[in-house]
Structure 1
Amino acid sequence: MSESSSSNYRSSTSRTTTSTIQGSMWSPSYYLNLWNRSFSEPDAVDETSKTLLRLTEKYGDTHPTFKTGSYNEALSHAKSNFKFLLVYVHSQAHPDAQSFCKDVLFTKDFKEYIDTSFVFWVCDVSTSIGLRMSNQLGATTYPFLSMIQPIVIPGNQNLHHEIFQGTSLLSKSNVMTKINEVTSIYEPLLISARADHELREQDRFIRQEQDEAFLQSLREDQEKERIKREKEEQERLEQEQLEKEEQDRLEFERQLIERKERKQKLYIDEPTKSATTTKLVFRLNDGSKVQRNFLESETIEYVMDYLDTLIPDPIENYILSTHYPKKQYHNLNNTLKEEGLVPDAVLFLSEK
């Protein structure tokens, strides 16, 4: 719409509407911070719900989608969705308001038209919220519609506020024409605001994706570092275990050698053949053969200690036995005489 046509429009509707802030009968301070103003609304949801219920019971369910809750909530919803807010203040006592509801508001095509691009909020002048909104928006007669552009214009903290009231609202085509004329003037601002919002959201989404990618990369690096530390710790423990086993093995071998060396000193002197000795021949596990004289009073353990000095492995892993008759010697405390290994015998050393 051109400036001249916009001016003509304002002039032609001056009897029934208040178009812009500059042409309003109200002071500019009235519109200041309309977006942030907090109304002290008693039970806004309850009062609004009752108003909607009364209207639908009387006029039916075919109507624009009514936004429930407070005015500020409706305005916030309109702003976040980049839509105009239409506020309808109803007066049950005014006959023109009845005609507006029946012939305009509660019709299918008006519902479809409003639901496409507007947020619609309703109050009743008979309620505390409705009376306050009627005074705040400057209603002088009914039916009354206020069309609010919810985006603050740069350099101006006031919200644009357009009102339509009285008999000019009794024609559906007239109402839609007036709304279209105002929409054509201020819709570019909403479109621009939506584009800026979408650009900011796109930038935010990109930053979020970048942050998520960074965090994912960080988590992966941390997981790799954790696995690396666990692997190094496992290798360290395994190495310590190997070193301990090697130390234990060396210590065992050392102790084994020392034990064998101590035992060797006990068998330096071999008893000479006599009536109290026996001659024992041993077949070792590696196939070699040795023989030695022992006193009849010596024990099986004494003989095993002697054999311990002849083999590299611990004697505890072996057992002494005869082939025929087959016998194993488990009782280490029995003497050679008690076991019948006199005056001589052949014994075999084999693994247990």
Structure 2
Amino acid sequence: MNDVELTNEETEKVLQFQELTGIEDINVCRDILIRHHWSLEIAFAEREKLNSGMPSMYASSTDTRAPAVINDRFLQHIFVSNNRNNNSNNNGGSGGIFGIFSYVVNSLINWCYSTLSTFIQTLFSVFTERDRIVTNPLEDVTSFIQNYNSKYPVHPVFYQGTYAQALNDAKRELKFLLVYLHSETSSPTVMSGQERITETINFCRNTLSNPDVIEYINNHMILWGCDISSPEGYRVSHSISARTGHYPVLVMIALRDNKMTIMGRMEGDCTAEELLVRMRRVVSDNERWLNAARHERLERSFNQTLRAQQDVAYEESLRADREKERKRREEREEIERIEKEIREAEEANDRRRDLKERLKMELVQEVPSEPSEKTIDAISIVFKLPNGMRITRRFLKNNTLNDIHNFLFCHPNAPDNFVISQNFPKRILECGKVILDEYSGYESVSEVIENLRKTIVSQTITEAGLQNREVLFVSDLDA
């Protein structure tokens, strides 16, 4: 875990996963957790599935087609049965130069024979392949595992899925896939004690049941097996060119340069020790490809995480900028709204002041003329204004209280919004009152006067009980 710095939480999950699974390589634990988006529960569940031979949930639902497999013999370790080598040695005569010459000639003959037979079988399969259409590959695999369990109960865990699912799981999990092709009829015979049995039976009884072999295969690779007599086994044997007629055949496949590649091929019987040596050699010589793939995945995951964090930070910054811009816009709109209200209020006040001036010019004409001192029906009233000024004015007794109001409303020293009160007795006189705040200022003077007349109480001065030399107080309602 030195290439990429992990957080404390991620490091703790890696250690927990290593403790749960017992995987020695901590980088493998980290890689598994990364593939499962750091979900400890899902990664452990998937690991348990593969350990029990069950396909992963991804393989079960999506992997219906097998990825292409590179079958280049120059990239493979090829191992053949010791029995075949021994027979060649026994029939070949002496060693030395003649032995080497015989080995080269036999190898050349075997290669020519293998190539020719492969070509003939391929050509023949074009016309016979229709008879081996795979209808249910999973049923072929499960049937093989059941039959194998009944004959050879001790063995490594077989992958309980199709060849396509096994390939995809091995590619996804970056593990070696060990393909075992089984055939008890297409196999040479050997002596086992006093019994002559086929190499396949001997291999299953003594090699594949060995505890060290079982432990190594279960810990380091996925084992997929099938009988070549079934449609699925036959199809796979053709796809990996395992048509040697010398069974059992084991093929080791793993990821190399982003392509599933056959890295090892073992044909015929061998001892458990030989099988372990062969598998370890293939693993050691090709592990670097899986390590490179793990490193590439780690870098890709790190870059994706970094981009995701940068996207989150960018979105957060963008959200903060949007929030600031929204607040600035709201503040600007609020200032504009207040300024607009102030401007509209000032304009309305200007209109009402203009309306008031026009109204005073109209109402002043309706104020009755002041009678002379000698007029018998005249009374003198003293108005005390809020600013302390006293105004004396004579009215006729049959003049109305509204005439008094209009007089004061049009007087330059009187307030615009006022009430008239009397101290003895203490009361407020009911007279007309102009409330300009009720108007927008667009109304005409005649409209305002018409509304004013609807509220006037046409009470005369005499009816109001006012006598000569009355003192009336004018109170400013806006003060």
Q: Same fold (TM over 0.5)?
A: yes
Matches within 5 A, 1:104-143: 110-125=213-228, 127-137=230-240, 138=242, 140=245, 142-143=247-248
What are the superposed Cα offsets for residues 293-332 of structure 1, whole Å, 9 maximum, x if unpaired?
A: 11222222221122222356433xx322222222222363
User: Are 1:146 and 2:254 matched, yes or no?
Assistant: no
Equivalent of residue 285 in structure 1, options 376, 386, 399: 386
**Alpha-carbon contact 2:422-2:473 (below 8 Å) kept:** yes
1:182 to partner: Cα distance: 1.4
Query: How much is the aligned-residue C-alpha RMSD, in angstroms?
Result: 4.1
Matches within 5 A, 1:61-140: 63-64=156-157, 66=159, 68=161, 70-90=162-182, 110-125=213-228, 127-137=230-240, 138=242, 140=245
> What residue in structure 2 maps to residue 328 of structure 1?
428
Q: What's the secondary structure of 1:181's corresponding residue? A: helix
Q: What's the secondary structure of 2:458's corresponding residue? A: coil
Q: What's the secondary structure of 2:269's corresponding residue? A: helix
Q: What's the secondary structure of 2:372's corresponding residue? A: coil
**Alpha-carbon contact 1:103-1:172 (below 8 Å) kept:** yes
1:340 to partner: Cα distance: 1.4
What are the superposed Cα offsets for residues 90-115 of structure 1, whole Å, 9 maximum, x if unpaired?
A: 45889866776676657775554234
User: Are 1:164 and 2:256 matched, yes or no?
Assistant: no
Looking at structure 2, the residues matched to 208 and 120 of structure 1 have their Cα atoms a distance apart, in angstroms, of 37
Larger displacement relative to structure 2 (85-94 or 246-255): 85-94
**Alpha-carbon contact 2:263-2:282 (below 8 Å) kept:** no
Matches within 5 A, 1:1-352: 10=78, 13=81, 25=114, 42-45=135-138, 48=141, 63-64=156-157, 66=159, 68=161, 70-90=162-182, 110-125=213-228, 127-137=230-240, 138=242, 140=245, 142-152=247-257, 159-168=261-270, 171-267=271-367, 269-273=369-373, 274-310=375-411, 311=413, 313-315=415-417, 318-330=418-430, 332-350=457-475
What are the superposed Cα offsets for residues 74-128 of structure 1, whole Å, 9 maximum, x if unpaired?
A: 2233223332111233458898667766766577755542343323333344543
What is the TM-score with the length of structure 1 in the denominator?
0.72
CA shift in 2, pair 1:87/1:327, >3 Å: same
Q: What's the secondary structure of 2:283's corresponding residue? A: helix
**Alpha-carbon contact 1:65-1:120 (below 8 Å) kept:** yes
1:44 to partner: Cα distance: 4.5
CA shift in 2, pair 1:227/1:328, >3 Å: closer
Percent pairwise identity: 25
**Alpha-carbon contact 1:75-1:150 (below 8 Å) kept:** no
1:265 to partner: Cα distance: 4.3
Looking at structure 1, the residues matched to 84 and 371 of structure 2 have their Cα atoms a distance apart, in angstroms, of 143
What are the superposed Cα offsets for residues 35-65 of structure 1, whole Å, 9 maximum, x if unpaired?
A: xxxxx85454565456556666887798437
**Alpha-carbon contact 1:67-1:119 (below 8 Å) kept:** no
1:206 to partner: Cα distance: 3.9
1:179 to partner: Cα distance: 0.9
CA shift in 2, pair 1:61/1:295, >3 Å: farther
Looking at structure 1, the residues matched to 175 and 181 of structure 2 have their Cα atoms a distance apart, in angstroms, of 19
Looking at structure 2, the residues matched to 238 and 312 of structure 1 have their Cα atoms a distance apart, in angstroms, of 32
AA aligned opposite 1:159: T
Gaps of 5+ in 1: 1-5, 18-22, 31-39
Looking at structure 2, the residues matched to 248 and 141 of structure 1 have their Cα atoms a distance apart, in angstroms, of 108
Looking at structure 1, the residues matched to 343 and 84 of structure 2 have their Cα atoms a distance apart, in angstroms, of 100
1:292 to partner: Cα distance: 1.0
AA aligned opposite 1:119: I
Larger displacement relative to structure 2 (186-195 or 90-99): 90-99
**Alpha-carbon contact 2:80-2:266 (below 8 Å) kept:** no
Looking at structure 1, the residues matched to 355 and 472 of structure 2 have their Cα atoms a distance apart, in angstroms, of 27
**Alpha-carbon contact 2:255-2:289 (below 8 Å) kept:** no
Looking at structure 1, the residues matched to 366 and 84 of structure 2 have their Cα atoms a distance apart, in angstroms, of 133
